Amino acid sequence: MKYRKLGRTGLDVSVLSFGASSLGSIFRQTDDNESMHTVHAAIDAGINYIDVSPYYGHTKAESVLGKALQQIPRDTFLLSSKAGRYGENSFDFTSARILRSVEESLARLHTDYLDILFLHDIEFVPAQIILEEAVPALYKLKNQGKIRYCGISGLPLKLFNTILPQIEVDTILSYCHYSLNDTSLLDLLPLLTHRNIGLVNASPLSMGLLSNRETPDWHPASKELKATCCKAAEYCASHGVDIAKLAIQFSTENEDIPTTLVSTANPDNIVRNAVWTEEPLDRSLLKEVLEILKPVHNLSWKSGLDEYNETALD
């Protein structure tokens, strides 16, 4: 496993990291024992960074992860969680709720600190509440030693261009914008580099678009985007390659992307994903797949307030 520096934090993070959302049974019903084995398998495979949120499975993911981590020395992994989003349409970024949320997360995770805390999906609320309530809460938590570093997360990239110049944070978490079908995250790199802000890239499979399975009905992508990604997956399969392998290799090989989060509740899957990062990328196949995806390159979907979604497609 390779490791890279996460911006100003100085943390060495594995290029492939573990997203614990699957432990909350949000994609399918999961077995808690298998989920715990998955966490242990990830650590054994060299993955040293784990991300979770109280939103995933209505706190289930944090609870299951906390049980798994009790068996692992705290100084052998980096842990991030989130605050502010608690349900599909449940958001509370007030300072009091952020502070209380972290205490609840720490209890579920059986730890007395988080390495990183992200404000979760801030595109759904007016910027004023983030700037006046949530961000000051982050600073307070850092001063208290409850979190080491702080950041913001969300889907629309315009969100980061708008908010980052107004605040001081250590990291951001972006998802579905550095993958085979969408590399628009690269446009944000100059700002992050200038500010020395760490970058966590999530969902190299674009929330299941880049998969041999049928895209779930809930996926917000357009029919054209779904169909084109399916075509790319079928092309890979015809060459005996799982498109997930190509996608993970593509997202983790870029030296400017410190770490990429993948989520699974299957121990064999996480081990396989980790092994893929060490294998050579098939350049010829990659070229063909990128050509197939070219008509939908950088197409995304709306998330949150209109002001952050001027270029997104419904």
- For residue 132, the number of C-alpha atoms closer than 13 Å in the C-beta half-sphere is 5
Between CA 161 and CA 123 the distance in angstroms is 12
Q: Which of 63, 58, 42 is nearest to 110 (CA)?
A: 63
CA R_g for the chain: 18
Between CA 226 and CA 274 the distance in angstroms is 26
**Residue 228 CB neighbours (<10 A):** 21
Hey, what are 27's tokens?
């994609």
Catalytic residue flag (residue 235): no
Cα three-residue angle 310-151-88, rounded to 5 degrees:
60
The one-letter amino acid code at 313 reads L
Catalytic residue selected from 56, 86, 149, 175 = 56
Cα three-residue angle 183-55-188, rounded to 5 degrees:
20
For residue 179, what are the CA distances in angstroms to 69, 284, 296? 29, 17, 12
Between CA 71 and CA 14 the distance in angstroms is 20
**Which residue is it, tokens 């990604």?**
229
In sequence order, the β-bridge partners of residue 177 are: none
Give the DSSP letter of residue 301: B
Between CA 292 and CA 66 the distance in angstroms is 42
Between CA 92 and CA 125 the distance in angstroms is 9
Q: Which residues are annotated as catalytic?
A: 56
